[in-house]
């Protein structure tokens, strides 16, 4: 299907790749195979199923990134490793040109837990999926509409070690303020009923291809 502006849309049930390149890098370091839930000119919604094999960064000495002290987390040599997405799956919502995506989390038994606003580069589409760059700073949003900043320490450390310059940091913080405005106005996607959504039981878990990084990551000019 082709939408407005000639954009090729995927069909619900299609398998695509949701990827992130490293910060201050043109190399991909995160890849998550996902299933398309909805793809229109206004919204891409995908499902990251439990047990999906993904690519993620790890320290070259084998230490998981999140276990490394913050002072050296972004300076030690890294590699990428295969791993599984454990626990409940995640529904991810991304709108064109927005510098964030909104993720929905559930506890077991499909008890809705929270929304998660992941600040990131607006997604760039390619034939097999979408690419972005994570911007460290995030926002947690609870069903009672309360919210809080997350990972401000990582955001500050990324600037300190040169993964984000002052100009980009200002743009990310401004995007965060705009996201807070979206939260406080309590419009879409929070009022769209996505917390009641459930995956089609006929869907299979997408497979991570060996050539998951075959298409070069997009780097903004």
What is the tens place of the pLDDT at every residue in 154-192?
Answer: 999 999 999 999 999 999 999 999 999 999 999 999 999
- With a CB cutoff of 8 Å and minimum separation 6, the contacts of 110 are 198
Q: Residue 63: its pLDDT value, please?
A: 87
Q: What is the pLDDT of residue 176?
A: 98
Token pair of 82 as six digits: 């295969």
pLDDT at 80 over 80: yes
Using one digit for the tens of pLDDT, what is the confidence trace for 123-156?
999 999 999 999 999 999 999 999 999 999 999 9
Provide the percentage of residues in the chain whose pLDDT is more than 70: 94
Task: List the domain boundaries for the chain.
Answer: 4-193
Q: Residue 221: is its pLDDT beyond 70?
A: no
Question: Domain 4-193, what fold?
Answer: FomD barrel-like fold (2.40.380)
Average pLDDT, the chain: 94
Query: In whole angstroms, how far apart are CA 124 and each of 46, 95, 131?
Result: 15, 11, 5
- What is the per-residue pLDDT across 188-215, written as a single tens digit (0 to 9) for each? 999 999 999 999 999 999 999 999 998 7
Distance CA 214, CA 14 (A): 19
Amino acid 124: pLDDT: 95
Enter the pTM of the model: 0.93
pLDDT on residue 171: 98
Asked if the model's pLDDT at residue 14 lies above 70, the reply is: yes
pLDDT the model gives residue 13: 98
Name residue, tokens 């600037």: 159
Residue 219 has pLDDT above 70, yes or no: no
Strands 90-94, 44-48: pairing kind: antiparallel
For residue 215, the model assigns a pLDDT of 73
- pLDDT range class, residue 6, cuts 50, 70, 90: low
Strand ranges inside 90-185, DSSP E: 90-94, 100-107, 111-120, 124-126, 129-132, 134-141, 147-150
Token readout for 73 is 């987390």
Average pLDDT of the segment spanning 59-71: 92
**CA dihedral for 108, 18, 119, 41, sign (positive or negative):** negative
Task: Express as a percent the part of the chain with pLDDT over 90.
Answer: 89
CA distances to 23, 119, 138, 195 from 152, rounded to whole Å, are: 16, 12, 8, 27
């Amino acid at each position: 299907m082709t939408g407005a502006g000639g954009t090729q849309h995927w069909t619900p049930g299609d398998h695509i790749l949701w990827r992130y390149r490293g910060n201050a890098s043109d190399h991909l370091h995160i890849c998550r195979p996902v299933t398309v839930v909805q793809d229109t000119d206004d919204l891409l919604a995908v499902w990251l199923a439990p047990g999906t094999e993904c690519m993620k960064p790890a320290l070259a000495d084998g230490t998981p990134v999140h276990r490394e002290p913050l002072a050296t987390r972004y300076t030690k040599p890294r590699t990428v490793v295969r791993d599984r997405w454990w626990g409940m799956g995640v529904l991810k919502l991304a709108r064109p040109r927005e510098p964030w995506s909104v993720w929905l989390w559930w506890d077991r038994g499909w008890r809705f837990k929270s929304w998660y606003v992941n600040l990131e580069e607006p997604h760039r589409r390619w034939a097999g999926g979408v690419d972005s760059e994570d911007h460290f700073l995030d926002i947690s949003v609870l069903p009672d509409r309360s919210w809080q900043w997350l990972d401000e320490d990582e955001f500050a450390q990324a600037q300190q070690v040169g993964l984000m310059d002052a100009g980009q940091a200002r743009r990310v913080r401004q995007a965060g303020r705009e996201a807070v405005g979206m939260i406080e106005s309590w419009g879409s996607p929070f009022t769209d009923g996505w917390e009641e959504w459930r995956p089609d039981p006929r869907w299979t878990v997408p497979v991570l291809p060996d050539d998951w990084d075959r298409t070069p990551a997009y780097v903004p000019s």
